């Protein structure tokens, strides 16, 4: 997926699990454009993960075995927390 194809990335952010949507969608909408190209690629790679894994990682029930994905999960959590809750 191309880092500039925001329509496609936006679609990939929609997970169908409310907890994931509340974490991933606001991050994409408010933070994606501030990421450098490497982190944009990493975010897209994170989106290719299975929903149960994403849920566990984002809810702190486990960690990705991939250090870079761990870093992206922490970035999502940190920026979402700093911005405050966003209702979808």
pTM recorded for the entire structure: 0.90
Cα 55 from Cα 36, distance rounded (Å): 25
Q: Are 56 and 62 in contact (CB under 8 A)?
A: yes
Q: What is the mean pLDDT of residues 62-74?
A: 97
- Predicted pLDDT at 84: 79
Locate 88 and state its tokens.
């979808």
- Write down all domains in the chain, each with its CATH number in brackets: 6-83 (1.10.150.250)
Cα 77 from Cα 23, distance rounded (Å): 8
- Predicted pLDDT at 1: 83
Confidence of residue 85 (pLDDT cuts 50, 70, 90): low
């Amino acid at each position: 997926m191309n880092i500039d194809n925001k329509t496609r990335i936006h679609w990939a952010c929609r997970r169908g699990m409310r907890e994931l949507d509340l974490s991933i969608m606001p991050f994409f909408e408010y933070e994606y454009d501030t990421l450098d190209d490497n982190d944009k690629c990493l975010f897209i790679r994170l989106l290719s993960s299975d929903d149960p894994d994403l849920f566990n990682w984002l809810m702190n029930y486990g960690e990705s075995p991939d250090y870079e994905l761990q870093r992206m999960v922490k970035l999502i959590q940190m920026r979402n927390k700093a911005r405050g809750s966003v209702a979808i």
